[in-house]
Structure 1
Amino acid sequence: MILSCENETTEIQYYPSTPDFSTERAVLFGLDTTDLNFRQITNKVASYYGKWEYLTIEFNDGRIKKRITPFVYDGGLIKYRNVLPITSDSILKEKGFPISELKQILKKHYLNKDENFRYAQSPNKALVEVTIDTSKTGKELEKVLVNLTRVFDEIKEEVNDSIELKVFFDYFRQIPPPPMPKMESKNE
C-alpha cells in the first residue's frame, strides 16, 4: 500500500491579506461542504456584521487553500465606479463583457488611477462584486471565486504591487422589477 501526500494543501492565501482580518476572529465557512445557496451564503456573511467575529469563506484551488473575507452592502456609500460587478459568465461594466475577458477588465479596474471615470479611482478603492443566481450552490460560487482569485494573482504578480482583492457578495441586482401598473382605458 502506497500513501501519498500529493493532494495535501501546501499554502494558505488570504483575500484581502491585510492584518485587519486576524485569523483568531475568523469563522471559517467551507464552500465544498455546504448545501446553502448563494442567497443564504450572502445572508450568513451579513449576519456577522457588527460582531466580534467575521465569516471567512474557504475553498481549495488545487494545492492552495484560499480564504476570502467577503463584504456585503450595509448602507454605506460606495461609488459605482469603484465596483466591478461579475457573474458566473459576465462582467457587468460598461456595455458588458464575457467572463473570459476578466483579466483585461480587472487589470483596467485596479490600475486605472482615476483616469477613466468608469473604473476605480485607485487600487485601494477597487472592489469586485460577485453576484450569481441566488439558487446556485456553494460549488458554483467556488468556481467563480477560483477563477477570480487566479486572475487577480496573475495581475498582482505582473504589476508587482501590493494591490488587495476586496470582494462583495450581492444578490439584490437579481430581484425583478415590479410589474407595470395597469393603465385605465379612456374609453371606459
Structure 2
Amino acid sequence: MKKILLISTILLILACNKKTREIRYYPNDEYSLDENVEIIGLDTTKLNFREITNKLEHHYENKTHMIVQFDDGNITKKILPHVYGNGLFKIKNVLKIKTDSILIDDGYQISELKRLLKRHYTNNGKIPYYSANYYQAAVEITIDTNNTGKDLEQVLKTVTRTFDEIKTEIQDSIKLNIFFSYFRQIPPPPPPPFNDEFNLYKEL
C-alpha cells in the first residue's frame, strides 16, 4: 500500500511539473513555423558557435528556419535567431554582446547589461549610436567560434532573463531579435609583405 501511494505521489509530481512548464518564444509568440524547422538543443548539441552560425546561414539561404532551444528553470526557451545579410536592421540598432562584455561606447562589463539593454530599447533616437526605436532594436551574440552549445546557452540565458525583466518593467510590446555572428572573433588578415623595392621607389 505504501509503495502504491509513493508511486502515485511521484506520478502526480511529474504530472504537475509537466503542466507548469512554460514555453517562451523569441522574438515573440507570434511567429509560426512549418514542420521542417530544425531545432538545435543547446544542452546536447556537439556543434560549436561557428558551426551553429554557419548552419543558420544555410537555412537563411534556403529560406528555411532554425530554432535554438534550451531549458531555463521551468521555462523552455525557443529562439529564432538571425544572421546578417537581409538588410532589415541597421548596425546602430544592434547591441553587440560578448560572453563577458558589451561592445558599445568604450565597452562595459556584462554586469551592466540590464542598464544598457533598457537604454537600447527606450532610446528612441536620443543617443545617435543606440537604437532609433524599440521595434528596430536587436542584439548580436558574438562569442568565441569554438564555444560550445552550452556556452551559447549561458549567454542566451543572461540575455533573455534580462530582456524579460525589462519587458515587465516598461510594459511594452518589445521583441527580442537576436543575431549570431562570429566575425568579430576572427583575427584580421596579416598586413601585406614589406616591399623594399617599392618603398625605395616612393622615396625617390
Scaled by the length of structure 2, what TM-score is found?
A: 0.84
Match of 1:22 among 27, 32, 54: 32
Q: 1:77 to 1:58 in 2, by over 3 A?
A: closer
SS of 1:132 mapped into structure 2: coil
Match of 2:90 among 71, 79, 82: 79
Where do residues 5-84 of structure 1 align in structure 2 (5 Å cutoff)? 5=14, 8=18, 10-17=21-28, 19=30, 21-25=31-35, 26-51=37-62, 53-74=64-85, 76=87, 78-84=89-95
Could you give the per-residue CA deviations for residues 118-161 of structure 1, whole angstroms, max 9, x where no partner exists? 10000111110001000000000000000000000000000000
User: Where does residue 174 of structure 2 map in the other structure?
Assistant: 163
SS of 2:67 mapped into structure 1: strand
Q: Structure 1 stretch 9-18 or stretch 100-109: which is displaced more? A: 9-18
Structure 1 gaps, min length 5: none
Structure 2 letter corresponding to 1:139? K
Pick the structure with more helix per residue.
2
Structure 2 gaps, min length 5: 1-5
Counting aligned pairs with the same residue, the percent is 50
Structure 1 residue 18, shift from structure 2 partner = 5.0
Structure 1 letter corresponding to 2:142? T
Q: Structure 1 stretch 2-11 or stretch 63-72: which is displaced more? A: 2-11
Q: 1:89 to 1:16 in 2, by over 3 A?
A: same
Q: For the pair shown, which has the larger CA radius of gyration, 1 or 2? A: 2
May I ask how many residue pairs the two structures share in their alignment?
187
Structure 2 letter corresponding to 1:58? Q
User: Where does residue 118 of structure 1 map in the other structure?
Assistant: 129
Alpha-carbon distance in structure 1 between the residues aligned to 2:17 and 2:110: 29
Moved over 4 A (4+): 6-9
User: Where does residue 3 of structure 2 map in the other structure?
Assistant: none
User: Where does residue 184 of structure 2 map in the other structure?
Assistant: 173
Alpha-carbon distance in structure 1 between the residues aligned to 2:72 and 2:157: 6
Alpha-carbon distance in structure 1 between the residues aligned to 2:24 and 2:33: 12
Could you give the per-residue CA deviations for residues 49-108 of structure 1, whole angstroms, max 9, x where no partner exists? 154530011100011000000001125364221010001000001100000000000000
Structure 1 residue 47, shift from structure 2 partner = 1.2
Alpha-carbon distance in structure 2 between the residues aligned to 1:71 and 1:14: 14
Scaled by the length of structure 1, what TM-score is found?
A: 0.91
Could you give the per-residue CA deviations for residues 18-53 of structure 1, whole angstroms, max 9, x where no partner exists? 52x204353321111101000000011111115453
Alpha-carbon distance in structure 2 between the residues aligned to 1:134 and 1:51: 23
Structure 1 letter corresponding to 2:122? L
Cα RMSD (Å): 2.1
User: Where does residue 135 of structure 1 map in the other structure?
Assistant: 146
